[in-house]
Amino acid sequence: MKKEDLRIVIGADHGGYHLKNALLDYMLRMGYEVVDVGAFNDEPSDYPDFARMVAEKILNGEALRGVLICGSGVGASIAANKFRNIRASVCHDTYSARQGVEDDNMNVLCLGARVVGEALAKDILKAFLCAEFKNRERYNRRLQKIKEIEDETGQSNT
Ligand code: RB5
C-alpha cells in the first residue's frame, strides 16, 4: 500500500509518551500522514482513553491503522481489542509485527515503551507499516471466526 493511502493514528499514555513522540517523528519523516491523539505530556493518564481514541479513528475511517503505546503494551492491547473490528497486539519483534498484518490483518500495533528501546521500536513499526494482509482463504476463514466470537459475546461498538 502506498504511504499516502496509509493514514496512521498514534496514541500513548504517560508511559509511552516519549516513545510516541519519537515514532511520530519517524513516521512523518518516512512520509506517512499521522494523527496524534495524545497524550501531549507525561502526566499520569489512563491507557484506555487512548485506546478508545485510536480505535475510534480507525472505525470512523480517519485512519487505516493505529499505534498504541503504554508501559508494557499490554493494557493498551487489552483495551483496544474490546472494540469490534479492532485487531490489536503487542509485538516486540519484527516477525510478529509483519506476520500479524499478513495473516491476522492486525490493525493496531501495541508497544511497551518500558520494554523495547527506540531503535527496535522503529524497526517493529516499519515492519508493521510495510506489511499487507495476504487475503488468503484460510486467513479470512479465521477472521470470520473471530467475528463470530464478537457476535456471540455481544462485543459492540459499530
Ligand atoms: C502505567 O503505569 C502502566 O501501567 C501502563 O502504561 C501500561 O503498562 C499498562 O499496561
Whether pLDDT at 3 is above 80: no
CB 93 within 8 A of CB 124: yes
Q: Measured in angstroms, how far is the CA atom of residue 26 from the centroid of ligand 1?
A: 23
Q: Which atom of ligand 1 lies at the shortest distance from residue 15's CA? A: 6
For ligand 1, whether the C-beta of 75 sits within 6 Å is yes
| 75, part of any domain | yes
* Closest by CA position to 129, among listed 158, 94, 153, 79: 94
C-alpha cell at 73: 503494551
Supply the CATH number for residue 50's domain. 3.40.1400.10
Q: Which atom of ligand 1 lies at the shortest distance from residue 70's CA? A: 6
At 86-136, the pLDDT tens digits run 999 999 999 999 999 999 999 999 999 999 999 999 999 999 999 999 999
Mean pLDDT of the 34-46 span:
98
| 102, part of any domain | yes
Composition of the chain by helix, strand, coil, percent to 5: 50, 15, 35
In this structure, which residue's CA is closest to atom 5 in ligand 1? 71
**Model pTM score:** 0.96
Please say if 91 is a catalytic residue: no
Alpha-carbon span 88 to 100, nearest angstrom:
9
How many domains is the chain built from?
1
